Amino acid sequence: MKEQSKLPFSKIPRGIFLAALVMYTLLICFIMLEFATVTREMGAVSHFLSFPLDNLFLNILTLGALLAALWILCNRLWLACLLLNILCFVISVANYFVLMYHGMPLSFQLLRNALTALNVISSYDLSIDRAVILLILAFLTVTAACLLVRRFVPQEKLSWKRILLRDGILAVLCCLVMYFGYFSDHPVKPKKTIGWLWSEAYFRYGYTACTVESFCNLFQVANQPEGYSQEAVQAIEIGAPQGEDSAAPDVILILNESFYDLSLITDLEADGDYLTNIHSMDNLLCGYAVIPSAGGGTNSSEYELLTSNSLQLMPGITPFNTLDLNNANSVVSHMNALGYVTTGSHSEPGANYSRTSAYSALGFGNIHFFDDFQDMEIYYNRDHFTDESVYQNLIRWYEEDPEDQPRFHYLLTIQNHGAWDDNDAQYDTVHASGDFGEYDGAVDEFLTCISQSDQAFRDLTDYFSQVDRPVIICMMGDHAPSFAASIADKELSAEEKNLLLRSVPLYIWANFPLEQQELGTMSMNYVVPTLLDIAGMKLSPYYSYMLQLKEQVPILTAYGSYYDRDGNLYSYDEDAGLAYARAVDNYFYLEYHNLQQNRDQKLYDPWP
């Protein structure tokens, strides 16, 4: 039998070489993963210098847990280190190119759509640049260390009992790292950190830790409603449409950032009507939409609006970051099925809330983000583009659309986003007369922004009133400003405050006559079915059922309760003996079925 090569520096204990190999492997793997994630966004040096120590140890210990699992599987420490090195190198290089061309880090959600990615990868320039060379060099150093240990460090022969004991200890250590790091009541890394901008979470908590969250999100998405089954879905009675709904007006759907009426939650008087144009408009339907969360959560409102699915079944998620939206049913897929040209736009970078991938997955034929907008304006020192300049871009794209197809445009604005005290007081054109303490400046600037949105909306409708095609426009807010809760009247009950802080203005206007009606207050998931119904367009069975339900239950909140048409509040967990409780259950059956890959698609396509 050939003898093992003699160990260099043979006086050094074997354990020290193995410990050095483990520590070096974990450190280099951590550096590769982080370097590939940050090198184009903020620079590797500044990232590593500012990385919190607790998160640094968590990432390295998590990689250590993965190394321990590989060691258990292959029973060779040097081989486990080599396999971890190969895995982290492949992920790092893939992540580098995914970020370059996709604007989002490699995640389990993206891997789930790997086949789609392979279809477009041929268009990528996968050239080896300086960053890739550095990753290769890092990979080679660990590979060399592993091979040196294999050659010079003799394999210790262990009995199966000692192997079981070692593996048991490694397994326990793995569990402790994962539990205290991620799953305990007070973990090192909070369970939900990937929010509106992926980089905030990844740069603070690290690629490895955020990948654990990404993996968990694959399994902790929608809660199955009690009593759900495919048989229960098929048993739901959905009334067929009466008559022929075949209108095809151009449809413009606007989600206006932080557009909210503060008079809902406080006795507000100002030196001018900040909604003077809207209050004087003809052929305008007015109401309120109840959004999922108060004071923030644009992506949640956006998801409910576009898909008509309630987030009641998916508490705590950031939808675009969490859900697989490929082949998802939405207003976009509905309009595509009706032959519309579909366009989605937002004047901020597409990386925010993963909108680049989400809009593409939803099926928008045209997508526009920050770099596509022209001649943008801001109001003095505020950081956000005005509604007026954003609408001018919408009009430009509208005019570029094919003449022979109806058009659907979805636009998310940004003007009214916080902070709300960026300008000097001299630039505020609306002033509240009440005393709001530390929020006086924020209230005045916010009302000024709302006044500008009011004027911009009037200008937009003036333009479309001259268009020789039928056009219907729906605009609503996405949430109240974050300070709204702090200035709400103390007399409001918790129930009233919960609802009013989530009630955003909702308007529908058209350049053709609309049957005058009050829209009332409805939850966000009802908005699109209501809009299409008012426009006289074809609905889907799903939309049809929702309109039936809205007559009885106009508000389905995402915080555990719903309101009937008389304003009575009920918990979703209450006795199903209520006359409309079964109807609410049926909606959630349809929604949950809608989220499944093996759904009955005809329930969500336009009626034939």
At 18-39, the pLDDT tens digits run: 898 999 999 999 999 999 888 6
Q: How far apart are CA 569 and CA 496, in angstroms?
A: 10
Are 176 and 266 within one domain? no
What is the total count of domains within the chain?
2
* H or E element in which residue 556 lies: strand 555-556
460-468, Cβ contacts within 8 angstroms, sequence gap of 24 or more? 460/391, 460/394, 460/395, 461/281, 461/509, 461/511, 463/395, 464/252, 464/511, 465/511, 467/250, 467/511
Residues 132 and 193 in one domain: yes
Domain edge (last residue) among 199, 217, 235: 217
pLDDT tens-digit profile of 10-22? 556 777 888 989 9
Q: Is residue 230 part of a domain?
A: no
pTM (predicted TM-score):
0.79
236 within some domain: no
Q: Are residues 125 and 264 in the same domain?
A: no
**Residue that is last in its domain, among 195, 217, 239:** 217
**Tokens encoding 323:** 């859900």
Give yes or no: residues 257 and 126 share one domain. Answer: no
Residues 323 and 180 in one domain: no
Q: Tokens in use for 463?
A: 């333009």
Judge contact between 74 and 83, C-beta under 8 A.
Answer: yes
Residue 26 lies in a domain: yes
Residue 537 located in a structural domain: yes
| 353-411 per-position pLDDT tens digit | 889 989 999 999 999 999 999 999 999 999 899 999 999 999 999 999 999 999 999 99
Separation CA 534–CA 283 (nearest Å): 12
- 451 and 583 in one domain? yes
pLDDT of residue 2: 47
Asked if 72 contacts 167 with a C-beta cutoff of 8 angstroms, the reply is yes
In a domain, 162, yes or no: yes
Q: Are 270 and 171 in a shared domain?
A: no
Model pLDDT, residue 499: 95
Longest dimension (CA), the chain: 96
Show the tokens assigned to 96.
Answer: 């580098």
CATH of the domain at 405: 3.40.720.10
Who contacts 450 (Cβ-Cβ below 8 Å, separation ≥6)?
A: 259, 260, 261, 274, 275, 416, 430
Mean pLDDT of the region 202-221: 86
Residues in contact with 445: Cβ distance below 8 Å, sequence separation at least 6, in sequence order: 382, 420, 421, 422, 423, 428
Structure token digits, residue 10: 């043979």
* Residue 320, pLDDT above cutoff 70: yes
- Tokens 């609306």, residue? 430
Spatial CA neighbour of 342 closest among 396, 389, 411, 388: 411
- Does residue 212 sit in the same domain as residue 313? no
* 44, 186: one domain: yes
In a domain, 232, yes or no: no
Residue 227 within a domain: no
For the chain, how many helices (H) and strands (E)? Answer: 23, 11
Selection from 326, 336, 334 nearest residue 597 by Cα: 326
pLDDT for residue 478 is more than 80 = yes
Q: Are residues 361 and 429 in the same domain?
A: yes
Q: What is the mean pLDDT of residues 454-465?
A: 98
| 55 and 116 inside one domain | yes
Instruction: Identify whether 235 is part of a domain.
Output: no
Query: How sure is the predictor about 116, in pLDDT bands with cuts at 50, 70 and 90?
Result: very low
pLDDT surpassing 60 at residue 596: yes
Same structural domain, 398 and 525: yes
pLDDT at 124 over 60: no
pLDDT score recorded for residue 66: 96
What is the extent of the structural domain holding 569? Answer: 250-603
Alpha helices by DSSP H, listed for 419-517, are 440-465, 484-487, 494-500
DSSP 327-361: T--SHHHHHHHTT-EEEEEESS-TTBTTHHHHHHH
